[in-house]
Amino acid sequence: MNYAMVLDYQNCINCKACEVACKEQNNVELGADKQRIWVGQTDNVIFGNLFVNFYPSQCNHCLDAPCVDVCPTQASHFVEGGLVLVDQKKCILCKGCMEACPYDARFVDDERVAVDKCTFCYDTRILKGETTTACQATCPTKVRMFGDLDDENGDVIQLLKQRKFFVLKAKEGTVPKLFYLVPENDEEYALQSIGHNNKIYTWDEMSPIIEAAKAKRSKQWKKS
Amino acid sequence: MEKIVIAGVEINRVSIRQLLFNKYMLLSYILLAIGIYGIYEVIQMRYFLVGATAADAGMHPGTHQMVTAMKDAVFGEGGEVKREAPWSLYIVNYMYMIYTGSGIIFLVALDEILNLQIIKKTAAGFLTFGIAMVIGGLFTIMVDLNSLHMLWMIGSPNFGAGMWQMLPLYMVYIPFVLFEIYLLITKKGGWVKSISYAILFLSVIIDIVEYYIQANLFSLNEARHLWTTYPWLTLYFIISAYVAAIGVMGVYSFFTYRKVLKNEYHTLIEVIRKTAVITITLLAVYEALAYLSIDKAWAFLILFGPFKYLFFGGYILLAMTIPYLLLFKESKNYMTTLASIFMIIGTYIGRYIFVYGGNAHPMSDRFGTGFEKYGIYEKFTSFIYYPPERAEVLVVIGSFGVILAVYTLLNKLLSVSKIREH
């Protein structure tokens, strides 16, 4: 198992149903700053045309996650499926993982006095036999698709084999597992929502990177 | 004064009144009281903040607690820790106290190896003040951490994490320095004398290891490029700690040795002055070269962006330029004291810029098209800065009380500031 998520981000209409579903499903603390997932937004002007981009995001469950390395008590750890989780009872609130995360995907849960982040609904849905996360299940425009990178016949791999995609901040070398699909229709226009420095991958290019990172880190994956 | 001798160490027989109610202890009590009030505020904020989840909202609609929690969720400031800038004044103070205290210990060991007689005579006092600063730094970080879960540092250690390595480091470091002080204040017998040089060399090695671990703590934060692209972070921490340490030694000498040393005071001040000139020069060269290689996104924010006044007007001017001008020629003793005060303030600002600057460049430009808002209530920002909370400032003030109390107690009992001929 190697869980990941594919995002057809250009479908996002910023309805925030995913944010609400996440809070409801995972009992996340209320508050604008307390989000396991969020829809980022940028406004910009190109040649006089104002445009807005919506960027749905969450923890990237990096295969080579720096947040796990810096945690002094192994509160941040890998579990089967290459997920990065936080054992909140072990968190000493050093905030090292928050500093290490290139995506600001972590926050402090003030009720539990510990760091919190996206779990891909591992404890609340996946372990109970569900095959989707709450954010995927609730999305009206089918932005997200959760799945297993080790399942060659699975929807995620099939999609990644068909479409080009990119990952966030690839240069940081953390091997993130949120795969953002490059829009198919009117690709040239849609590419304006992606920075010029973002490398666009095919699955054949990405697969060896994933395998190398998995080989390096899978020894640390704990059984749940 | 009457003495009790235990393991070769003469302990002053002082009354409780002399020990606990002298003017320095009274000052430390005031500072500690401020710090304790800060801790009270931290505890209130951390453990008694009313939060709520969607389930709470469904189960307890309309209750006063729910209303408070909802109000805070919508209009609040996001709790004690800011998601975009998790490390704050606690880390600044921790870094300053620990690095500077260790810097004093490091410099004294080096000077002893170099056989500088005036430092040998005053070493016990300097070392004790250094270790008091380390304890002051640890006090700050203990307030910052969730102490209720600290047992997991032993129960579930991650040996590779810089943060975890602090634990064994200081469990070795503090007793080791106390042993060094013991060697200095005890009446040296055969075996003590024979190992003293070995201890000095070991001390230098432990200091270097300490700065290496501290550098490791910052350089593992891969996306915070101020910290990861600062060249040779270990060396930077050592050099900048030297400048801060010399500043503290200058002020400490003024208060402690000005009258006691009489004619030799100028000799001590001259050692401090010359060391200051060398270390300031090293730091200036280092910073000039470092900012050529630091990631430009961070370098621009510090050099030309919102931090520029603090950087040039605070750090560069106070820590380096003014002290250098005051010290580069031999002058009156008070000039060194004055320069030392500037160095203390300037290097503190330097640490502030290092920590706050590391978080200043938002992580939210994830798609490479500009900084994002995280949510409808969030502000769009190209620069992240949250001024320290009042509780943090109070705790920092309290840490000065810890230093003063630790030093005064040890000095009253062991007369560490006494001039010793070796």
Q: What would the pLDDT profile of B272-282 be if each residue is shown by its tens digit?
A: 999 999 999 99
For a pLDDT cut of 70, what percent of chain B falls above it? 98
Q: How far is B229 from chain A (nearest CA, A)?
A: 13
Q: Per-residue confidence at B71, pLDDT binned at 50, 70, 90? A: confident
Q: Per-residue confidence at A107, pLDDT binned at 50, 70, 90? A: very high
Nearest to A93 by CA among B252, B278, B42: B42
Q: Which domain holds residue B314?
A: 84-121+140-393
* B190 against B277, higher pLDDT: B277
CA closest to A117 among chain B residues: B83
Nearest to B219 by CA among B277, B149, B161: B161
Whether the Cβ atoms of residue A54 and residue A14 lie closer than 8 Å to each other: yes
Residue A107: its chain B contacts at CB < 8 A? 78, 81, 83
Q: How far is B341 from chain A (nearest CA, A)?
A: 31
pLDDT digits (tens, 9 = 90+) for A139-186: 999 999 999 999 999 999 999 999 999 999 999 999 999 999 998 877
Number of structural domains, chain A? 1
* Average pLDDT over chain A, rounded to an integer: 93
Mean pLDDT of all residues in B85-89: 95
* B378 against A108, higher pLDDT: A108
Nearest to A83 by CA among A146, A19, A18: A146
Burial of B61 (0-12, 13-18, 19+ CB in 10 A): exposed
> Does B133 reside within a domain?
no
pLDDT at B196: 73
pLDDT digits (tens, 9 = 90+) for B98-118: 999 999 999 999 888 888 899
* B200 against B143, higher pLDDT: B143
Residue B366 scores a pLDDT above 80: yes
Whether the Cβ atoms of residue B26 and residue B49 lie closer than 8 Å to each other: no
User: In Å, what is the CA distance from B199 to each residue of B110, B179, B193, B204?
Assistant: 12, 9, 10, 9
pLDDT at B235: 96
> Does B69 reside within a domain?
no
Dig out the tokens for A127 from the structure: 């372990």
Number of structural domains, chain B? 1
Closest Cβ–Cβ partner in B54, B78, B366 for A103? B366
Q: How far is B207 from chain A (nearest CA, A)?
A: 21
Residue B300 scores a pLDDT above 80: yes
pLDDT at B323: 97
Residue B416 scores a pLDDT above 90: yes
- Kindly determine whether residue B54 and residue A30, on different chains, have CB atoms separated by under 8 Å: yes
The strand pairing partners of A6, in sequence order, are A145, A179
pLDDT digits (tens, 9 = 90+) for B115-146: 889 998 999 999 999 999 999 999 999 999 99
Residue B341 CB contacts under 8 Å (≥ 6 apart), including other chains: B247, B250, B251
Q: Per-residue confidence at B193, pLDDT binned at 50, 70, 90? A: low
Mean pLDDT of all residues in A57-78: 96
Mean pLDDT of all residues in B244-271: 94
Q: Looking at residue B6, what DSSP letter applies?
A: E
- Kindly determine whether residue B83 and residue A107, on different chains, have CB atoms separated by under 8 Å: yes
Q: Looking at residue B387, what DSSP letter applies?
A: P
- CATH number of residue B316's parent domain: 1.20.1630.10
* Average pLDDT over chain B, rounded to an integer: 92
* B180 against A85, higher pLDDT: A85
pLDDT at B195: 75
Residue B422 scores a pLDDT above 80: no
Q: How far is A153 from chain B (nearest CA, A)?
A: 29
- CATH number of residue A52's parent domain: 3.30.70.20
B400 vs B332: CA distance, rounded Å:
29
Residue B68 scores a pLDDT above 90: no
**Chain A contact probe: residue of B152, B170, B226, B367 with most A CBs at under 10 A:** B367
Q: Per-residue confidence at B51, pLDDT binned at 50, 70, 90? A: confident
Q: How many helices (H) and strands (E) are present in chain B, helices listed first?
A: 17, 2
pLDDT digits (tens, 9 = 90+) for B385-397: 999 999 999 999 9
Residue A201 scores a pLDDT above 90: yes
For residue B56, the number of C-alpha atoms closer than 13 Å in the C-beta half-sphere is 19
Mean pLDDT of all residues in B295-301: 96
Residue B78 scores a pLDDT above 90: no
> Does B1 reside within a domain?
no
**Structure ipTM over 0.95, yes or no:** no
> Does B77 reside within a domain?
no
Q: Per-residue confidence at B190, pLDDT binned at 50, 70, 90? A: low
- Burial string for A162-187 (b: 16+ CB within 10 Å, else e) reads ebbbbbbbbebebbbbbbbbbbeeee
At which residue do the structure tokens 């909140």 appear? Answer: A88
CA closest to B81 among chain A residues: A108
B66 vs A123: CA distance, rounded Å:
26
Q: Which domain holds residue A125?
A: 3-220
